Amino acid sequence: MRTARAAHFRRWRNMSSVSMAKNRFNQSWLHDHINDPYVKMARREGYRARAAYKLKEIDEQDKLIKPGMVIVDLGSTPGSWSQYARNKLTQSAKRDAQREGGIDGKIIALDILPMETIADVTFIQGDFREDDVLAKLDEIVGEQQIDLVISDMAPNLSGVASADAARIEHLCDLALEFAQNHLKPEGALLVKCLRGSGYSQIVEKFKHQFKVVAPRKPKASRDKSSETFILGRRLKHPG
């Protein structure tokens, strides 16, 4: 009986320790989030998430988004990357005296989750691996070609490093496959990934598929985070 009670107490103590650790983590995250300058800036400038500034910094460094582009945003919800792309193409439309409103280009956002409407952005809800979703995409793109694919997709993290690495690698593989099949030869793909187990394999896959590959760690990406981005340009073997 004593042995059973002792074992029960140890289990309770371990569960309690885990619960307290999670609570401390949540409190720390909430404190960082509330005081985050990018969160405050996003609220001020109308972006749905601070992630917009990650794309903004990479775009300013690499000149990704240009007038007239066809851009596909994979895993777009809540929509901050599409918002930034839309704002960038709106600026170029304003510089065109002959254009009345709208954007100078085309943005198609895809996600299995719903997304609130963004002006001038076409949203397709569904899995971009499914034929009916791809048919809708092809109809919208028409005779044009896709210039840029952006993906801020991330899995629900479990906290188990090996499992999380496998999940993020899978999402990167899906984005790479999509780009291979839909991107124009001189196009570009930007994806989010995590540094750690599996990262070098993702980079190698990019190098196999693209002529130019560059890792990016924007300032808006928290220092504590293993999050990073990989940019690939110019397909080696266009689909």
Q: Give me the tens of pLDDT residue by residue for the chain, a chain 239 residues long.
A: 555 555 554 554 554 554 444 455 355 545 465 678 999 999 999 999 999 999 999 999 999 999 999 999 999 999 999 999 999 999 877 766 455 568 999 999 999 999 999 999 999 999 999 999 999 999 999 999 999 999 999 888 787 877 888 899 999 999 999 999 999 999 999 999 998 888 999 999 999 999 999 999 999 998 888 899 999 999 998 87
User: Do 192 and 160 reside in the same domain of the chain?
Assistant: yes
pTM of the model: 0.84
| 142 is known to lie in a ligand binding site | no
Residue 165 carries which DSSP code? H
- Do the domain assignments include residue 42? no
| 147 is known to lie in a ligand binding site | no
Q: What is the domain count for the chain?
A: 2
HEC profile of 2-65:
HHHHHHHHHHHHHHHHHHHHHHHHHHHHHHHHHCCHHHHHHHHHCCCCCCHHHHHHHHHHHCCC
User: Do 91 and 180 reside in the same domain of the chain?
Assistant: yes
User: Do 24 and 64 reside in the same domain of the chain?
Assistant: no
User: Do 178 and 102 reside in the same domain of the chain?
Assistant: yes
| 127 is known to lie in a ligand binding site | yes
| 138 is known to lie in a ligand binding site | no
- Do the domain assignments include residue 43? no
User: Do 24 and 80 reside in the same domain of the chain?
Assistant: no
The predicted structure's pLDDT at residue 140? 97
Helix (H) or strand (E) holding 188: strand 183-194
Domain extent, residue 186, equals 48-235
The predicted structure's pLDDT at residue 92? 75
User: Do 31 and 56 reside in the same domain of the chain?
Assistant: no
Find the CATH number of the domain harbouring 209. Answer: 3.40.50.150
User: Do 64 and 147 reside in the same domain of the chain?
Assistant: yes
User: Do 30 and 144 reside in the same domain of the chain?
Assistant: no
- Do the domain assignments include residue 40? no
Active site residues: 192
